[in-house]
Amino acid sequence: MITIKGLNDSLVFVFNQGDYTDYLSFLQEKFQTSKQMFSGSRVIFQGRGLAKLSREEISSLQRLCLDNDMILNNTPPPVDKPVRQHHSSDGKDLIVRRNIRSGQKVHSEGSVVIWGDVHESAEITAARDIIVLGKLGA
């Protein structure tokens, strides 16, 4: 049906054999039982099963992801570019609009504004202010 894999800082939803109803019920169940795992994650849709869906059906599945606080990104990040770190060395403020997960690092020579949750073991350093608009230690 759908295989979920981690790729760098994204979740890849690989649509295998199935139909829209199967995909919809599978994702709804996953999101209900593991909401924290998916919230704030970047999501990439891939797989042969997408070819059998209409535009409206794909949009509906994407809307379901957005409604569950995910970020759609159907272009995977380059493998050699670190996506787990946010860095500003020019003295400008850094604004990050996503959750910062455990092990991720954020650094700025100015201020840092995190518009999302900061999970336990994440590292944030700044020369000036650190502002978090979300939960700490989520």
pLDDT at 75: 52
User: Which of helix, strand or coil describes residue 78?
Assistant: coil
40-66 tens-digit pLDDT: 888 989 999 999 999 899 999 999 999
Identify the bridge partners of residue 88 per DSSP, sorted by sequence position: 108
Distance CA(125)–CA(130), nearest Å, equals: 8
Report whether 17 contacts 53 (CB < 8 A): no
For the stretch 124-130, contacts whose Cβ atoms lie closer than 8 Å and that sit 24 or more positions apart, written own/partner, are 124/100, 126/94, 127/91, 128/93
Of 118, 10, 2, 7, the closest CA to residue 61 belongs to 2
Domain ranges of the chain: 2-72, 85-132
Query: For residue 135, what are its two tokens?
Result: 């939960």
Residue reference for tokens 């997408």: 50
pLDDT-based confidence at 134, cuts 50/70/90? confident
The per-residue pLDDT for 87 is 63
Q: Is 0.85 topped by the overall pTM? A: no
d(C-alpha 129, C-alpha 49), whole Å = 47
Instruction: Give the DSSP H/E element, type plus range, for residue 32.
Output: helix 20-33
Interhelix angle 20-33/55-67, rounded to 10 degrees, is 0
- Tell me which of 73 and 100 has the higher pLDDT: 100
